[in-house]
C-alpha cells in the first residue's frame, strides 16, 4: 500500500447538489484527496447513493442527505446532519444550482423565485449554518458561473443575476472571515458537459464559436479547481475566483 500525500486527509466536506454532474465530480475529487464527504440531493436518491458508494470505495466516509436547496430548514438540517455524521465540517462547497432559461418577459414569478431561492438564498443559509462549525483555516467554495461576470447569450438574465450575486457575496464574506484564515472563493464554470447543458444539446451550436478552446469542459476539470481552493496550497487565496470556461470570456 502506498502512503502518498493526501492534501485533504482528515478533513470533512459538504458538497450540496452532488448526486450528478459537477457536484458528483467535486465530491469524488475531494474524497480522492483524502476528505470524508457528505452530499445533498433533491430527488436523485439512487444517483446520490452511487456517489456515496464511490466515495467509500476510496476509503472515505460518506453521507447522502436528501435536501432541497430552496428550503432554508432543509439546508440547515443538512449541515447539522453532516456535522453529526462526519464529526465536524472543514470544507463547504455550495454547488446546488438551478437554471431556467427563456425570455425574461415570459418567466413566471415562480421560475424567478426558484432560481433566487436555490442559487442565492440557499447559499446564504447553508453558509451561515456551516460557519457555526467550520474552524479557523476552513474553506468555503461556491460554484458561480462565467455568466456572473459577462452574459454570453440571451435567455439567462435571472440566472446570470443570481450568479453575479455570488461575486459580491464571496468578496464580502472573505473580508469578514479573513481574520480566522477561512478562505472564501468562487469557481466559475463555463460550458460544461452536464445534463443541464450537454455538449450535444441545443445550445452547443451557438456556444462553441465563442470558446477559445473549441469544446465543452468536463466536470473533472471543474472539480480540480475546487480541490485546489479547498487545499493547503490556496491558503492565501480568498475573495477571488477561478474561471473554468474554455476562454468564453476572454
Distances (CA, A) of 115 to 99, 165, 202: 7, 12, 21
- CA distances for 35 relative to 52, 60, 181, 232, angstroms: 13, 7, 19, 13
41 is catalytic: no
Distances (CA, A) of 176 to 34, 81, 164, 183: 28, 26, 19, 10
In order of 4, 42, 122, 198, 247, the CA distances from 207 in angstroms are 40, 29, 28, 11, 11
Whether 82 and 12 have beta carbons less than 8 Å apart is answered as yes
Say how far apart CA 138 and CA 196 lie, in whole Å.
30
Cα separation, 94 vs 101, whole angstroms: 21
Catalytically active residues are 159
Amino acid at each position: 500500500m502506498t502512503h502518498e500525500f493526501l492534501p485533504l486527509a482528515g478533513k470533512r466536506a459538504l458538497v450540496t447538489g452532488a448526486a450528478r454532474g459537477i457536484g458528483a465530480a467535486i465530491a469524488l475529487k475531494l474524497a480522492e484527496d483524502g476528505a470524508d464527504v457528505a452530499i445533498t440531493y433533491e430527488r436523485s436518491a439512487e444517483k446520490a447513493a452511487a456517489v456515496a458508494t464511490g466515495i467509500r470505495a476510496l476509503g472515505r466516509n460518506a453521507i447522502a442527505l436528501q435536501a432541497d436547496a430552496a428550503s432554508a430548514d432543509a439546508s440547515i438540517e443538512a449541515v447539522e446532519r453532516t456535522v453529526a455524521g462526519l464529526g465536524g465540517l472543514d470544507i463547504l462547497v455550495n454547488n446546488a444550482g438551478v437554471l431556467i432559461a427563456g425570455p425574461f418577459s415570459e418567466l413566471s414569478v415562480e421560475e424567478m423565485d426558484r432560481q433566487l431561492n436555490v442559487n442565492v438564498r440557499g447559499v446564504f443559509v447553508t453558509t451561515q449554518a456551516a460557519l457555526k462549525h467550520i474552524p479557523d483555516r476552513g474553506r468555503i467554495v461556491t460554484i458561480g458561473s462565467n455568466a456572473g461576470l459577462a452574459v454570453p447569450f440571451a435567455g439567462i438574465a435571472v440566472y446570470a443575476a443570481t450568479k453575479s450575486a455570488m461575486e459580491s457575496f464571496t468578496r464580502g464574506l472573505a473580508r469578514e472571515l479573513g481574520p480566522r484564515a477561512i478562505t472564501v472563493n468562487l469557481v466559475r464554470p463555463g460550458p460544461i458537459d452536464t445534463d443541464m447543458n450537454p455538449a450535444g444539446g441545443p445550445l452547443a451550436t451557438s456556444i462553441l464559436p465563442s470558446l477559445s478552446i473549441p469544446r465543452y469542459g468536463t466536470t473533472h476539470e471543474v472539480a480540480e479547481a475546487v480541490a485546489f481552493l479547498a487545499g493547503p496550497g490556496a491558503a492565501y487565496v480568498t475573495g477571488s475566483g477561478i474561471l473554468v470556461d474554455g476562454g468564453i470570456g476572454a
